[in-house]
Amino acid sequence: MNRVYNFSAGPAVLPEEVLDIAKAEMSDWHGSGMSVMEMSHRGKEYLSIAEKAEVDLRDLLAIPANYKVLFLHGGATLQFAMVPHNLMRGKGTADYINTGTWSKKASAEGKLYGKVNVAASSSDTNFTTVPPQESWKLNPEAAYVHYTPNETIGGVEFSFVPETGAVPLVADMSSTILSRPIDVSRYGVIYAGAQKNIGPAGLAIVIIREDLIGHAPAGSPVMLDYKTHAENQSMYNTPPTYAWYISGLVFAWLKKIGGLGVMAEMNQRKAGKLYAYIDASGFYKNPVEIASRSWMNVPFTLPKEEMDADFLAGAKKIGLLNLKGHRSVGGMRASIYNAMPEAGVDALIAYMKDFASRHNG
């Protein structure tokens, strides 16, 4: 077997150790004689898997007891609708912070349910900055404030947690959850699609303060109501059982390496190296203001667009894959999530140096 370094933005690299465990357990989980995929979600074996995953996630993030953890279908994108559906609560208006592609998509869904007040936007810098909190025009009557702590496409990450007083703060943490410790009590809702830093695509994890559950409009479809999922331990219908299981293995792996404090140090070191090299290279460029550079997604450009294809082909030849930037930004993007080993970042930097020297860098 020959594993590559996969810099994909998502679905993304998973820890090799996790894949090895899944492989060993594939056709006979712990003597059950069946794969996790084949188990009833209501059987005691699967329930033990599901419960352990939640316990480990609560432990990793120190989730307070008055928060529910939900394992849902539909990825982060369904949460763009479920959040306003459940949280507008007759207020009819919500604040959104616009820092790029994903926050824009979230606010577009919010508009289906009420008035969206764009309380701050970094469109004036072409989404290469995070607007400082002092400049925000928050509405004290808003049902909630929604923001995207890490913009996966632009590579822009908040270096602070917004202060929203009594108005619940909602965060789309898809591409940054578990990259470092966070204070969950600062949030009303945290949600994340799994395929960046958690596990397989299709699963979304929602961490929600209990008082925000139970406010969906009367006559809601059951699957769109957080209450349905909270009251049924995310098993109102068949949950994405295998994705939940793999996510549980990832949580166990994170605990084994020492938890999110250790993970944060590793991530900071990986990102720090890569940005330091880009800035010093005089060849590659990253457009994001230094304080708001993402630890997880590092976009960079080459001096000439004509070099891109050559760069990608050479990278692929030595097992550095999926470095092509998003079509809306161009250039390259290296996604270096939790599961990307530091050796992968080192290999990328070595290749970038070599490429630059061959192109008069």
Ligand X SMILES: *Cc1c(COP(=O)(O)O)cnc(C)c1O
* Cα separation, 107 vs 118, whole angstroms: 8
Q: Name which of 75 and 355 has its Cβ closer to ligand X.
A: 75
When asked if residue 193 is in the footprint of ligand X (CB under 6 A), the reply is yes
Q: Minimum CB separation from ligand X for residue 198, in Å?
A: 10
Question: Which part of the chain contacts ligand X (CB under 6 A), choosing from 71-79, 264-272, 274-282, 348-356?
Answer: 71-79
Please report, for residues 1, 107, 174, 187, 247, the alpha-carbon distance to residue 195 in angstroms, rounded to integers and kept in the order given: 23, 22, 8, 22, 10
Binding residue (CB under 6 A) for ligand X from 107, 174, 234, 301? 174
- For every residue of 160-215, DSSP letters joined together read SPPP-TTSPEEEE-TTTTTSS---GGG-SEEEEETTTTTSSTTEEEEEEEGGGSS-
Q: Name which of 228 and 297 has its Cβ closer to ligand X.
A: 297
When asked if residue 197 is in the footprint of ligand X (CB under 6 A), the reply is no
Centroid of chain to Cα 93: 26
* Cα separation, 79 vs 101, whole angstroms: 15
How many amino acids of this chain bind ligand X (CB under 6 A)? 12
Active site residue 124: no
- For every residue of 142-155, DSSP letters joined together read -S-EEE-SEETTTT
CB count in 10 Å sphere of residue 192: 25
102, 136, 244, 295: the catalytic one is 102
When asked if residue 260 is in the footprint of ligand X (CB under 6 A), the reply is no
Q: Name which of 130 and 352 has its Cβ closer to ligand X.
A: 130
When asked if residue 77 is in the footprint of ligand X (CB under 6 A), the reply is yes
- For every residue of 219-238, DSSP letters joined together read T--GGG-HHHHHHTTT-SS-
Q: Name which of 76 and 94 has its Cβ closer to ligand X.
A: 76
Structure tokens belonging to residue 272: 């720090």
Active site residue 253: no
**Beta bridge partner(s), residue 146:** 96, 170
When asked if residue 109 is in the footprint of ligand X (CB under 6 A), the reply is no
When asked if residue 10 is in the footprint of ligand X (CB under 6 A), the reply is yes
When asked if residue 76 is in the footprint of ligand X (CB under 6 A), the reply is yes
When asked if residue 114 is in the footprint of ligand X (CB under 6 A), the reply is no
* Cα separation, 84 vs 94, whole angstroms: 8
Binding residue (CB under 6 A) for ligand X from 46, 67, 96, 102? 102
Q: Minimum CB separation from ligand X for residue 102, in Å?
A: 4
Nearest Cα neighbor of 195 from 338, 12, 333 is 12
Binding residue (CB under 6 A) for ligand X from 172, 331, 333, 338? 172
56, 68, 95, 196: the catalytic one is 196
Structure tokens belonging to residue 317: 């030849």
Positions in 142-161 near ligand X (CB under 6 A):
148, 152
Binding residue (CB under 6 A) for ligand X from 8, 36, 56, 75? 75
When asked if residue 8 is in the footprint of ligand X (CB under 6 A), the reply is no
Binding residue (CB under 6 A) for ligand X from 6, 99, 107, 175? 175
Nearest Cα neighbor of 254 from 266, 236, 238 is 266
Site of interaction with ligand X (CB under 6 A): 10, 75-77, 102, 148, 152, 172, 174-175, 193, 196
What residues act catalytically?
Answer: 102, 172, 196
